Structure 1
Amino acid sequence: MEKAASFYFHGSLNDFLPTCSKNKPVPYGFSGAPAVKDAIEAIGVPHPEVNGILVNGEPVDFSYRLQPADRVEVYPAGTVKQWLEHDAVQAPLPVTPAFILDVHLGKLSKSLRLLGFDTLYQNDYTDGAIAQLASEQHRIVLTRDVGLLKYKSIKWGYWLRSQHLEEQLTEVLSYFRLASKFNAFSRCLICNSPIAPVPKATVLTQLPPKTMLCFDEFYQCPTCQRVYWKGSHYERMQEFIERLKQD
């Protein structure tokens, strides 16, 4: 005989539910005694976006085994609840956040690198490779694919709600509270390596004629050898960064 429990999802977790199920109890039928984590993901909510679970008013972790007639409340990361300080189901984020992005987020990867964040991206990453690298290197997964966030090995992750670059960047900065952690213009936009100052004489052959005449301060990526300087694009990027800080 099938058993049943009731789930209620708070706040941003409703983004993963169909319209008819948002902000209301969601019935869940089951057999045996599945882990509450498995039930949450079967309903559609990926575990990295969950930070607190109450069952019949008591905090539990992901391993709790579901019982008939359980009333389950699921809270998103960022929820301000006193009990979450001691009973959060998420591991604390790394002090220095590092990211890995899925194949749909190439433009976002460059924007995060522009702000100084260690950001892995390749347009041929498989979901399995992303999950493995995230686990091995303690990286936060950013994706437009909800299914990717359900990989068991992924500790931290976020599903981008928007498909527009500036909105995506604002989402990430707000969700992970990154505005105070910018280290702009410190990474290569192409390969993610930290860049370093270099003498003009060592990069002359890589400079356009006008750049050679007008600029004397240069930076280079030691991995891909790309050269950077503070041209007209630099001022535009500075304005962009200041706008992000004010949002």
Structure 2
Amino acid sequence: MDCVTERDARLRIAAELRMFLPVSRRREWQRVTTDDTSTLGHHVESVGVPLTEAGPMILGGRGVRPSYLLAPGDVVEVHAMPRPQPLPAGPRFLLDVHLGTLARRLRLIGVDAAYHNDMDDPALVVQANEEHRVLLTQDRGLLRRRALWLGAYVRGSRPADQLRDVLERFAPPLTPWTRCTSCNGVLVPVSKQEVEPVLEAGTRRSYDAYGRCRDCGQVYWQGAHSDSLEEIVRTAQVWTNNAKIQHG
């Protein structure tokens, strides 16, 4: 049993946030020792919860900010970030190097999702800050970087679960088939004649409607994989609409 001291304060961690706690301490109540200098935000992160995932913090029935200086005897309720999460700017994202499939799926449904498979953590933070993008990652240490403008932990190991988590958390506007899944550029309609030189004979015979990325030049058409892609789009629209209804 933990030893209680007169310097202790207690944090009540919401169920949705306990996954971030060490297994040996994965319980509702967390005891922390105050020291006259450490903020509430510091103590929340010290028990394992990234501040990007923490929502309202309530002390004595009133909200307090992460900068609040925690005092002995304080009892603070730490809630999860509300969903959909309001953003100070339009929903634009930057994905960590391990989330390439999620990036392509976000682009498929028209969400602005920057991604590089060779970018280190400091460079990710710089781009996220300069372009005001929400950094999506499963690296908890990256979310604790003080310089980061805004980040979010992506839950789930399968791309479908990850996509659902992002859509339910942010409920971004969806504009399917408007972005290049390779580079995130915007697709523009082009005539068959414009792209005919790069098409194979079978494609030229079978399809008449084409789009081209204005950044990388890749050409798109409704191909053999369209059924599976359309299912991803339909499911994404359902998840987003449900999130808006349930939490709107």
Provide TM-score, normalisation by structure 2. 0.87
Unpaired runs of 5+ residues, structure 1, are: 81-89
- 1:239 and 2:214 correspond: no
Q: Which residue of 1 aligns with 2:74?
A: 70
- Partner-residue secondary structure (3-state), 1:142: strand
Q: Kindly, what percent of the aligned residue pairs are identical?
A: 34
Task: Quote the offset at 1:201 in angstroms.
Answer: 1.8
| CA distance in structure 2 between the partners assigned to 1:128 and 1:163 by the alignment | 24
- 1:41 and 2:45 correspond: yes
Q: Which moved more, 1:94-103 or 1:216-225?
A: 94-103
| Residue from 128, 143, 150 that aligns with 1:149 | 143
| CA distance in structure 2 between the partners assigned to 1:63 and 1:151 by the alignment | 16
- 1:26 and 2:30 correspond: yes
Question: Relative CO higher for 1 or 2, CA cutoff 8 Å, sep ≥ 6?
Answer: 2
Once the two structures are superposed, residues 151-192 of structure 1 have per-residue CA deviations (whole angstroms, 9 ceiling, x without a partner) of: 2233432212211111111111111123xx210010001110
Task: Quote the offset at 1:4 in angstroms.
Answer: 1.9
| Residue from 216, 220, 224 that aligns with 1:224 | 216
- Verify the 8 A CA contact 1:48 1:154 in the aligned structure 2: no
- Verify the 8 A CA contact 1:33 1:67 in the aligned structure 2: no
- Partner-residue secondary structure (3-state), 1:108: helix
| CA distance in structure 1 between the partners assigned to 2:16 and 2:200 by the alignment | 48
Letter in 2 for 1:209: A
- 1:16 and 2:8 correspond: no
Once the two structures are superposed, residues 112-166 of structure 1 have per-residue CA deviations (whole angstroms, 9 ceiling, x without a partner) of: 0001011111011111122222222221111110111112233432212211111
Q: Which residue of 1 aligns with 2:54?
A: 50
| CA distance in structure 2 between the partners assigned to 1:196 and 1:11 by the alignment | 45
Letter in 1 for 2:211: Y
Q: Which residue of 2 aligns with 1:97?
A: 91
- Verify the 8 A CA contact 1:2 1:30 in the aligned structure 2: no
- Partner-residue secondary structure (3-state), 2:79: strand
- Partner-residue secondary structure (3-state), 2:225: helix
| CA distance in structure 2 between the partners assigned to 1:120 and 1:210 by the alignment | 33
Letter in 1 for 2:52: P
RMSD: 2.1
Provide TM-score, normalisation by structure 1. 0.87
| CA distance in structure 1 between the partners assigned to 2:14 and 2:46 by the alignment | 17
Q: Which residue of 2 aligns with 1:169?
A: 163
| CA distance in structure 2 between the partners assigned to 1:189 and 1:49 by the alignment | 28
- Partner-residue secondary structure (3-state), 2:117: coil
- Partner-residue secondary structure (3-state), 2:33: strand
Once the two structures are superposed, residues 183-230 of structure 1 have per-residue CA deviations (whole angstroms, 9 ceiling, x without a partner) of: 001000111010101122221221121001111211111221110011
Q: Which residue of 2 aligns with 1:83?
A: none
| Residue from 144, 151, 176 that aligns with 1:184 | 176
- Verify the 8 A CA contact 2:57 2:79 in the aligned structure 1: yes
| Residue from 201, 204, 221 that aligns with 1:209 | 201
Letter in 2 for 1:245: Q
Identify if the C-alpha distance between structure 1 residues 79 and 23 changes in structure 2 by more than 3 Å, giving closer, same or farther. farther
Q: Which residue of 2 aligns with 1:106?
A: 100
How many residues align? The count is: 235
- Partner-residue secondary structure (3-state), 1:72: strand
| CA distance in structure 2 between the partners assigned to 1:55 and 1:154 by the alignment | 26
- Partner-residue secondary structure (3-state), 1:54: strand
Letter in 2 for 1:11: A
| CA distance in structure 2 between the partners assigned to 1:94 and 1:116 by the alignment | 20
